[in-house]
Chain A
Amino acid sequence: MVLGTNLKHIATAAQHNEVINNNENVMICCGRMGPMCIPVYDIMEDLEEEYPHVAFYDMPFDSPEAHVIRNAPECSSFMGLPFTVYYKNGKLVKATSSIQSKAQITSILNEKLA
């Protein structure tokens, strides 16, 4: 099960683990193809060129495998899609809930995944 975006996809928990451990900086948007999630995928697509040191991925929220993000303690208070998570050297350093603007995303990338 993968999402129909132009981003690279994560389908399984094992793949998620591989991605965050094999890349220094990772941003994953875990959502559906809905109005709050699509703008975030779009922004990520746009940022891929500008932030070559960050690996951008999506993951389907409804897949049982997405428990790795859904159940992260940093996401425990989240009640809005998408759950967007940022990893540095395999460690979750920031998480946001619901739609975010390009300015909000780039400020996290600049601060946490420099």
Chain B
Amino acid sequence: MNYDIIIIGAGPSGLTAGIYAARAKAKVLIVNEGSVGGQMVLTHQIENYPGVESISGYQLSKIMRKQAKTFGCDIKTGVELTKISLEGDVKSIEIDSKETFTAKSIIIASGGRSRSLNVKGENEFKGRGISYCATCDGDFYQNMEIIVVGGGNSALEEAVSLTKYASKVTIIHQFDHFQGYQHAIDEAKANPKINFLLESKIVEFLGTEKVEKVKVENLKTGEINEMSIAGVFIFIGYVPQTERFKGIIELNQWGEIIVDENLQTNQKGVFAAGDARVTRTRQITTAVADGTVAALRAVDFINQK
């Protein structure tokens, strides 16, 4: 099937791009791998989106999705991008190894996701001792000993919040210093339930039904020790979801998409918006602004053809 514009990603940038492009009478398809709303649905309460005093990320996502659909966007969610061709005048994508769609222009709005450790046992024990969300799963660990992995603000703040439940929290971090704000570091250090294992990393999760132990490597000596543990919370930052475009679209050293002032990538007619592109500020407001610009420039591009 042919479209004017295909948007990859249905976070705030992709949905906004859809709204603007469809309102400009372009035929638009939005394809999304995860949940509509992207990282917005991870946000319990959004209080810095102008015009709305307070709203859950879930609700805001539902409204944006409805707006995009009302203006005529086709939206396919929970799909996997299996092939992509961005060169030339006709761009194409294949989803779920089944359906192929073509378009004159593509907007990449694939955002970011939390980084995983990528070590043995991580996938197997997700939800059985491995978690990425303290508010979701903290209360399963009442009076148990747990590990928090990471050294930024999220790891430090979540470690403190997890001491409400756990009897002991060990923060494991690969460096000898933390990347968080000083007040977050001070708060974690002052908490009697928190202790630290620096210059160390988890190399394997062990257990039968759930995580029982982890193997921890001392990065200074190379020594590996086993630690008995009830649970591990992982907060090691976010990465742009751009692996799929490597080698096709120009990326910087952190995997962020390089764009010009019109948000166009090195491929003509291919634009990028939101957290996936090179930018210092990653917010819903900046994502929707990007979605607007990318959609209008994509419409200009197809009208010039």
Question: Considering only CB atoms, which chain A residue lies closest to B130 in the complex?
Answer: A80
Let me know if B78 and A80 touch, CB within 8 A: no
Within the complex, the shortest CB–CB distance from B124 to chain A, in Å, comes to 12
Q: Mostly helix, strand, loop or mixed at chain A's interface?
A: loop
In the complex with contacts A39-B41, A79-B141, A98-B131, A33-B136 CB distance below 8 A: no
Smallest Cβ-Cβ distance to B39: which chain A residue: A35
| Docked pose: A6 CA to B66 CA in angstroms | 13
Evaluate whether A80 and B131 lie within 8 angstroms (CB atoms) in the complex, with A32-B136, A35-B136 already known.
yes
How far, in angstroms, from A81 to B79 measured CA to CA in the complex?
23
Which of these, B78, B135, B137, B140, contacts A102 with CB under 8 Å?
A: B78
| Alpha-carbon distance between A78 and B209 when the two chains are bound, in angstroms | 9
A42:B35 contact, CB within 8 angstroms: yes
Residue B90, interface by CB 8 Å = no
Q: What are the residues of chain A within 8 A of B41 when measuring CB–CB?
A: 35, 38-39, 42
Could you say which residues of chain B place their CB within 8 Å of the CB of A32? 136
Q: A39-B41, A98-B127 given as contacts; is B136 within 8 A of A80 (CB)?
A: yes
Cβ of A102 to closest chain B Cβ, rounded Å:
3
Contacts of B183 in A (CB 8 A): none
Asked if residues A103 and B209 are in contact (CB atoms below 8 Å), the reply is no
The reply on A36 being an interface residue by CB < 8 A is yes
B77 lies within 8 A of chain A by Cβ = yes
Contacts of B209 in A (CB 8 A): 76-77
- Whether B135 contacts A34 by the Cβ 8 Å rule is yes
**B152–chain A nearest beta-carbon distance, Å:** 18
CB distance from A108 to the nearest CB of B (A): 14
Name B7-29 residues within 8 Å CB distance of A: none
Cβ of A46 < 8 Å from any Cβ of B?
Answer: yes
Given contacts A79-B129, A79-B141, A80-B128, contact A42 B77 (CB under 8 A): yes
What is the bound-complex CA distance between A34 and B132, given in angstroms? 12
Assess whether A25 is interfacial by the CB under 8 Å rule: no
User: Number of contact residues on B: which range applies?
Assistant: 20 to 34
Q: Which residues of B contact A103 (CB under 8 A)?
A: 80
Question: Closest approach, in angstroms, between the C-beta of A15 and any C-beta of chain B?
Answer: 23
Interface of chain B residues 45 through 60 with chain A (CB within 8 A): 56, 58
B63 is an interface residue with CB less than 8 A from chain A: no
- CB within 8 Å for A96 and B127 given contacts A35-B42, A38-B58, A46-B77: yes
| Residues of B79-95 contacting chain A, CB below 8 A | 79-80
Residues 71-114 of chain A, each 1 if its beta carbon lies under 8 Å from chain B, else 0: 00000111111000000000000001111011100000000000
Q: How far is the CB of B172 from chain A (nearest CB, A)?
A: 19
B246 within 8 A of A: no
A80: B residues at CB distance < 8 A: 126-128, 130-131, 136-137, 140
Query: In chain B between 88 and 110, which residues have their CB closer than 8 angstroms to a CB of chain A?
Result: none
Pairs across A and B, CB under 8 Å, 27 listed: A4-B58, A33-B44, A33-B56, A34-B44, A35-B136, A36-B132, A36-B137, A38-B58, A39-B34, A42-B41, A42-B78, A46-B78, A77-B210, A78-B128, A79-B127, A79-B131, A79-B137, A79-B210, A79-B231, A80-B131, A81-B136, A81-B137, A97-B128, A98-B127, A101-B34, A102-B77, A103-B80
Residues of A within 8 A of B (CB): 4, 6, 32-39, 42-43, 46, 76-81, 96-99, 101-103
Which residues from chain B sit less than 8 Å from chain A, CB to CB?
34-36, 41-44, 56, 58, 62, 77-80, 126-133, 135-137, 140-141, 209-210, 230-231
Beyond the given A42-B41, A79-B129, please list 10 additional residue pairs across the A-B interface where CB-CB is below 8 A. A33-B44, A35-B136, A77-B128, A77-B209, A78-B128, A80-B126, A97-B128, A98-B128, A101-B78, A102-B78
